[in-house]
């Protein structure tokens, strides 16, 4: 949907900083409501002109009659402006257009992603895999969301946020720090917001006391909760790990949907409907519910041993939530970082400079080896009596400390590696294809 400027007819774009639709040509600014009202008026005038023109042509009327018709159109338009009449917009197939909107659909031939683009903006590369293999597919009538969380973070802020994070990283290669700014796209990600009633009766087991007084106790909790607006990502293109890391969104700022908010941004299409997402919504609800219940149990290692959950999906509403996607290339591989379009939270992991990493590791290993050798020599060389009863405990403590270091280090490396894989758009693309094949 294109919103034209009431003053110069240029295409308006939504500016998150001022929550207004701005004209890049004449600099005028309007609220989304004003812009949409003007656009509806324009659309209606075009329809009425076309209808009256066709009627007069059919009746073989003269130019003078056409002028009369034009005068009548102006009068009706004035009445609409004055709210003297209400106008209902009905599309050619007879369906009310309130729940649908027209979008240009672009398809990526590399990863299969589909993006709905609004306004006059043309897409030149895929926001998901970064390939310039995106082609215009069709004009489509899409289900209109009920809610939209407008972008609060502007493109420059998103880029600066990512740049700031990357510049702080001592292992981030210089090529990544100087990424190409053009490849940043604001995308409204489709979500379903679920209202879920959840009830559960639980028997829990926990440990109380410490040392010799440690005992296992059992607890019973029965509770219910009405969860409002549980967010579930409805896009196959965006993997669930990434979308969960984008959260939280402050849904108190959510607004009733106006197509004007999409101007200047892409909007991803939902390809998982509310029924397909029911399991995800209930799963997330259960996790939160159990966590809250466990907080009320004054014990450690709390586990549910028996329970009887019941739930009811009360409502599911389609909403669009904002995210910035930054795609860049490093060693011919595309990577995509995300920024929460409302809070500015940066999500993603980037490849590291191996030479720097190895250098630091070697230096640290040599220094700490020397320190630990001196300490060990000091301990084993007489300070500690190896024949005493406490030797076993000492060896166990040393072993535990060593295990802690190795586990921490290996865990950190594995986490970074896993997240780099997620950030690699080619991995995302493969993931998308796998999920599409499942259906």
Partner 1 sequence: MDGIFLIIAIAYGVIMGIGVALAITGIILKKSNEHGNSKGDLYDFNGTTMHFLNRQQL
Q: Total number of residues binding partner 1 (CB under 8 A)? A: 80
C-beta of 185: minimal distance to partner 1 in Å? 18
**DSSP structure class, residue 381:** I
Residues 6+ apart with CB under 8 A from 58: none
211: left (phi over 0), alpha (psi -120 to 50) or beta: left
Tokens representing residue 360 in the block: 């630091």
Q: Which two tokens stand for residue 88?
A: 């209902």
* Shortest reach from residue 416's CB to partner 1, in Å: 5
Smallest gap from Cβ 294 to partner 1, in A, equals: 12
Cα–Cα distance, 113 to 266 (Å, whole number): 12
Q: How far is C-alpha 115 from the chain's CA centre?
A: 14
Measured from the CB atom, the residue of 80 and 297 that comes closer to partner 1 is 297
Q: How far is the CB of 125 from partner 1 (least distance, A)?
A: 23
Measured between alpha carbons, how far is 432 from 439 in angstroms, rounded to an integer?
11
Binding mask 107-146 for partner 1 (x = CB under 8 A): ----------------------------------------
Q: Which of 226, 273, 421, 434 binds partner 1 (CB under 8 A)?
A: 226
Residue 163 binds partner 1, judged by CB under 8 A: no
d(CA 126, CA 338): 14
DSSP letter at 384 equals: S
**Interaction between residue 40 and partner 1 (CB under 8 A):** no
Position 292 contacts partner 1 (CB under 8 A)? yes
Place of tokens 């995302």: 428
Smaller CB distance to partner 1: residue 166 or 262?
Answer: 166
Name residues contacting partner 1, limited to 404-423 (CB under 8 A): 404-406, 408-413, 415-416, 419-420
Chosen residue from 34, 102, 142, 247 binding partner 1 by CB under 8 A: 247
- Burial of residue 116 (CB within 10 Å: 0-12, 13-18, 19+) is buried
- Measured from the CB atom, the residue of 51 and 365 that comes closer to partner 1 is 365
135 touches 109 (CB < 8 A): yes
372 CB-near residues (< 8 Å, 6+ apart): none
- Nearest distance, CB of residue 424 and partner 1, angstroms: 13
Closest approach, Cβ 352 to partner 1, in A, equals: 5
Please, are residues 319 and 193 in contact by the beta-carbon 8 Å criterion? yes
Q: How far is the CB of 361 from partner 1 (least distance, A)?
A: 5
* Residue number, 99 or 296, with CB nearest to partner 1: 296
List binders of partner 1 among 367-386 (CB under 8 A).
367-377, 379-381
Give me the 81-100 binding string for partner 1, x by CB under 8 A, dash otherwise: --------------------
Give kind and range of the element (H or E) at residue 207: strand 184-208
Sequence-distant contacts of 51-57: CB under 8 A, at least 24 apart: none
3-state secondary structure (DSSP) of residue 65: helix
Q: Token digits for 178? A: 């100087």
Residue 296 sits in the site that holds partner 1 (CB under 8 A) = yes
Q: Which of 55, 90, 201, 255 binds partner 1 (CB under 8 A)?
A: 201
Nearest approach, Cβ of residue 261 and partner 1 (Å):
23
**Stretch touching partner 1 by CB under 8 A, among 42-50, 130-138, 162-170, 256-264:** 162-170
The interaxial angle of helices 63-81 and 32-59, nearest 10 deg, is 150
Interface pick for partner 1 out of 101, 127, 338, 425 (rule CB under 8 A): 338
Does 348 bind partner 1 (CB under 8 A)? Our answer is yes
Residue 329 is a binding residue for partner 1 (CB under 8 A): no
Per CB under 8 A, which region of 20-28, 71-79, 85-93, 217-225 contacts partner 1? 217-225
Alpha carbons within 13 A on the beta-carbon side of 99: 5
Determine if 227 is a binding residue for partner 1 (CB under 8 A): yes
- Residues, the chain, total? 439
Residue 68, preceding bond cis, omega within 30 degrees? no
Please report whether residue 361 would count as binding partner 1 according to CB under 8 A: yes
Q: Scanning residues 255 to 284, which ones bind partner 1 (CB under 8 A)?
A: 284
Residue 18 as a binder of partner 1 (CB under 8 A): the answer is no
Least CB distance to partner 1 at residue 96 (A)? 34
């Amino acid at each position: 949907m294109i919103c034209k400027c009431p003053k110069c007819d240029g295409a308006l774009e939504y500016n998150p900083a001022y929550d207004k639709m701005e004209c890049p040509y004449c600099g005028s600014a309007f609220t989304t409501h004003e812009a949409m009202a003007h656009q509806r008026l324009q659309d209606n005038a075009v329809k009425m002109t076309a209808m009256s023109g066709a009627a007069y042509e059919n009746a073989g009327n003269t130019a003078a009659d056409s002028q009369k018709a034009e005068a009548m159109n102006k009068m009706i338009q004035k009445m609409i402006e004055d709210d003297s009449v209400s106008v209902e917009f009905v599309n050619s197939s007879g369906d009310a257009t309130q729940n649908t909107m027209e979008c240009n659909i672009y398809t990526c031939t590399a990863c299969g992603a589909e993006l709905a683009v609004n306004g006059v903006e043309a897409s030149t590369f895929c926001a998901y895999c970064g390939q310039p293999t995106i082609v215009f597919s069709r004009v489509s009538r899409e289900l209109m969301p009920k809610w939209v969380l407008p972008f609060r973070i502007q493109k420059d802020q998103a880029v600066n946020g990512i740049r700031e994070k990357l510049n702080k990283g001592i292992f981030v290669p210089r090529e990544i720090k100087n990424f190409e700014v053009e490849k940043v796209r604001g995308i409204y990600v489709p979500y379903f917001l679920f209202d879920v009633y959840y009830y559960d009766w639980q028997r829990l087991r926990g440990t109380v006391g410490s040392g010799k007084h440690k005992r296992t106790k059992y607890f019973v909790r029965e509770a219910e909760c009405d969860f409002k607006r549980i967010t579930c990502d409805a896009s196959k293109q965006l993997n669930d790990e990434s979308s969960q890391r984008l959260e939280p969104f402050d849904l108190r700022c959510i607004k009733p949907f106006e197509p004007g908010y999409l101007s200047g941004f892409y909007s991803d299409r939902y390809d998982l409907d509310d029924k397909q997402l029911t399991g995800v919504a209930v799963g997330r609800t259960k996790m939160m519910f159990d966590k809250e219940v466990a907080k009320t149990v004054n014990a450690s290692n709390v586990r549910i041993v028996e329970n009887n959950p019941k739930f009811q999906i009360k409502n599911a509403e389609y909403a669009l939530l904002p995210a910035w996607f930054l795609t860049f290339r490093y060693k011919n591989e595309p990577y995509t970082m995300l920024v929460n379009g409302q809070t500015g939270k940066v999500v993603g992991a980037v490849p590291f400079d191996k030479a720097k990493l190895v250098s630091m590791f070697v230096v640290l290993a040599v220094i700490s080896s020397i320190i630990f050798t001196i300490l060990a020599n000091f301990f084993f060389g007489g300070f500690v009596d190896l024949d005493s009863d406490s030797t076993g405990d000492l060896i166990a403590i040393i072993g535990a400390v060593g295990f802690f270091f190795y586990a921490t280090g290996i865990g950190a490396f594995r986490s970074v590696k896993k997240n780099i894989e997620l950030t690699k758009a080619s991995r995302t693309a493969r993931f998308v294809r796998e999920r599409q094949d499942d259906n």
